[in-house]
Structure 1
């Protein structure tokens, strides 16, 4: 069965790739910072942190104006990582993550809030839709890991890990890094919706990995698991999970 949400995801990624190819590039040698994390992973906090440290930041879910700004955030998972690297070779790519369950809960919570604030009925989620969100989230994290192995232009950090923000700030020479906050999201989700999320992890066979902030190995092919383990071992100094 066709997953319309999956189609939308890949269409937007294709659109962003085409847009970057056609857009003005600015000075390609000038260093930029690309915050590649999903929505609901402190993208706003990070954009403001870089702004406070002198970067010309752009936080938007729309087209990143790479010719006019230095730091970019929001919906990084929709951006063409390989093309950004090829176009701006002196840049840094930051993957901000959080436990898979917390990301999924916040993703659904956001949709509920938007509907209720507009005076509309709650959205109806299916287990299939939630499984798709889990799998797409996991696939992008794996994509980033496989594309970054052997490179020195990236950082990975869990926004809920104590000292995670400071770890990133130390690498980037930033001041004023915030403290990690305990997860408190999903307040608009009903018990039924929360139960449906749990069922999705169970049906995928990864209920015990719900709080994994990076790639869930059991959701990827065996060869990718080996590459993932090698990535984590080889780049321990650049990863804080």
Structure 2
């Protein structure tokens, strides 16, 4: 009987300690677990994506194949990931998705690296992406502010940007100079992705997102689009885009 009492007291003490730790940090134990798994998977997928981008650059993948990789990635995220997000198969889908997007980056990176100061542009874009992501994520994790109110505005902004991008593409096919308009779209994407980083991180912290596979996918897309848009903007300001 004494041993059982001791075990019960120990378990109650552990639960109390976990509860107190959660209150101290302002993040629940479940949210801590999702955050840990999300950032771990995000780190591995970013590394894998970088390796695949290197492979794409080495074999000098064409823009046509790059486009096919991007379409394949979209098919995975829309058709396959929702069915596998709650199983271990979802991890494989996330790696396939990020690998395809990494491959699609090859021609873009080769384009910028072929410029006179292309190496500096790529490194500035990488550095800028890291600073924005770590800074905004750190801000949410430190302040525990809830940015869920931004969801509607961000989705509306994303819809506007998608429509504008399609319009820009169509206009370009008819010979219209859309370089400045395209630059404005990239700037809007940088702002939108910054907002999505705040929003997505906040959802994890406050329990709005409990699936680390879906959370990883969202954060990866934020980073990917932020990087590509910064590349475009920095390339333009360096006079090579």
Normalization by structure 1: what TM-score? 0.24
Which has more strand, going by share of residues? 1
Task: Give the TM-score taking structure 2 as reference length.
Answer: 0.24
Q: Which is bigger in relative contact order (C-alpha 8 A, separation at least 6)? A: 2
**Structure showing the higher helix proportion among its residues:** 2
